[in-house]
Every structure is written in C-alpha cells, then in structure tokens.
Amino acid sequence: MKACDWLKKNRIGALIVIEREVSLQEYIGNSTKIYADINDSLLETIFFPNSPLHDGGVIIQGDRITCAGSVFKTSVNQNLSKRLGTRHRAALGIAEESDALAIVVSEETGRLSLAMDSELHYNLSNEEMRTMLLEELSPKSEIFFASDENESDGEEDA
C-alpha cells in the first residue's frame, strides 16, 4: 500500500498481480524474473517511467515479487468504458481467467482500482483498497459442525 500511495501521488502507472490458487506460470515464463522480497522501494523502481519494466505487470507469489514486465491478455468485456486503458483491461483480463487480484494505478488519473472475480472496482480510496486486500488475502477458516446423526442421544451403549 505504501508503494501504491506513492505511485498514485506521482501519477505513475502500475499493474500488480497477486497470485492465489490458480497458477500464473504461463505469464511468469515470459517475463523478467526477480524473486525478491516485497518492498515499496522495489515496486516504485520497477514502475518508474522509462524503466524497461514500467509497462508490464508485476506478479507476486506469497511474500515475493516473482517477476516484472509480465504481459497479460486483456479483457474481452464489451461493456468496459472506452476510457479505460490497457492496464485496466489487462487487470480485468487476468481476473476473468484466474482467481488473482490485480491492483492498478492509473497513470492518467492516479486512481486506484482492483480487479477480482471478473469485476473491476474502480477509483478506490487507499483505505478501501487496503480493506479489500486484507479481506481477500486473509486466511479463510472453515467451521465444521457434527451432524445430528453422529451426535449421541444421551443414552450409553450397553
């Protein structure tokens, strides 16, 4: 979020994709491998204008930046606003074909967006983005209840 805030304030475009259950190996294979710990300075450097990796996306796996300069298929959704650029279309494209989260910082407006579950959440505040990311990335716990059939009826077996 620190990097997103800095990129937003400086109107530097970015596409940060977070892999979840569905592998993004097909995109990693054709990009520049990094394998570095996530930190704001590195993300800011990757997306800095005129950087060789500026136009592509970054893929994060777990707590590491796996690669940069990734090129994603763009969305084929005909209902998208014509004002949305390639980064937004690529973010939505990866969210349509996988369970990845795709963060977009608009170069033109500095607005933050999040693509997930085939939907683009546009013009989010920093706090909205943070909340959505925490909710989506926090471990999901399942609660199991004993079925009525398996519960004892209070009588002891003889």
What is the residue extent of each domain of the chain?
2-136
Distances (CA, A) of 64 to 18, 42, 78, 129: 10, 11, 34, 20
Mind listing the pLDDT tens digit of every residue in the chain (158 residues)? 999 999 999 999 999 999 999 999 999 999 999 999 999 999 999 999 998 888 899 999 999 999 999 999 999 888 888 788 899 999 999 999 999 999 999 999 999 999 999 999 999 999 999 999 999 998 876 655 555 445 445 555 44
CATH level 3 topology of 2-136: YojJ-like (1 (3.40.1700)
The pTM (predicted TM-score) of the whole model is 0.86
The Cα 44–Cα 47 span in angstroms is: 5
Contact in structure between 41 and 48 (CB atoms under 8 Å): no
Contact in structure between 65 and 82 (CB atoms under 8 Å): no
